[in-house]
Amino acid sequence: MSFDLGVWRETRPLTSPHALRTYRWLCGDERAADVGREDLGIETDERVDAFRDDLLSEYPPLEGLAEADAEASPWSMTPEHVPGLFVITTMGFSDAPKAAPFIVELAETHGLVCFDPQAMRIHNPEEIVAPDGSRLDFRDGGIVADPRPDELPALLGQVDHRNWFACLETRPGWFMQVGVGERAGRLPDGVFGLEYREGSADRHFRVLVSDPDEMVHAFQGYAEGHERWKDALDWRPLA
């Protein structure tokens, strides 16, 4: 069993479900057979090729290596590369702790996304993450810039015990966030820890809810900019 990473160019930040769909399409996975490139928004970019060149300068292709050098290489097979489109790396799990961080950092340097299908984690390069406006960040690295209120039910449906946290920030220090499970305060199953903050620590509030619709409605109201959502729940100060 191998440890794989996919690297390609996007013009907008991704969530991990979108990245998984793209990754499957790039791999020729039959589960993505009904997806077309026009549905994915992948950008052809020469930076993919520059990334591949820099990657192979650090970890050369297996072809032509002496036996000892091939055994020391992290590659299970030389990275798959379609010029301008993508690079997929394949390595042993024992080699991943050393090579994977280098690959993630190199992708960031070249302005490319890097997707880890093992952990379902997406690394979005900072240059495609909108510096202004609101953004919804997930624990797994997924980001949605300026999410519309009608998109929030599906987006927040991604919050689970693996991807246990999401935060909608409208400006620095102003946000609404939700967490579930052990790492969000040892919450029992079916309970959402919902918080909002308005700048200072004395304007930070929390409530526990068990109805996912209540959680989503609070996020939608927050995204729409009104304050009626505050009256629907029993918020308690954290400070």
Q: What is the pLDDT of residue 132?
A: 76
* CB crowding 68-101: b at 16 or more within 10 Å, else e: eeeeebbbbebbebeeebbbbbebeeebbeebbe
Mind listing the pLDDT tens digit for each residue in 63-92? 989 999 999 999 999 999 999 999 999 999
Mean pLDDT value across the chain: 93
Instruction: Answer yes or no: is pLDDT of 38 > 70.
Output: no
User: Token digits for 150?
Assistant: 């009608």
**Rounded CA gap, 101 and 104, in Å?**
5
Instruction: Answer yes or no: is pLDDT of 104 > 70.
Output: yes
- How far CA 10 is from CA of 66, 89, 125, 133, in Å, comes to 37, 18, 9, 19
8 A C-beta contact, residue 131 and residue 146: no
Mind listing the pLDDT tens digit for each residue in 181-216? 999 999 999 999 999 999 999 999 999 999 999 999
Instruction: Answer yes or no: is pLDDT of 35 > 80.
Output: no
Altogether, the residues listed in the chain come to a count of 239
Mind listing the pLDDT tens digit for each residue in 124-168? 999 888 767 899 999 999 999 999 999 999 999 999 999 999 999
Bin 151: left if φ > 0, else alpha if -120 < ψ < 50, else beta.
Answer: alpha
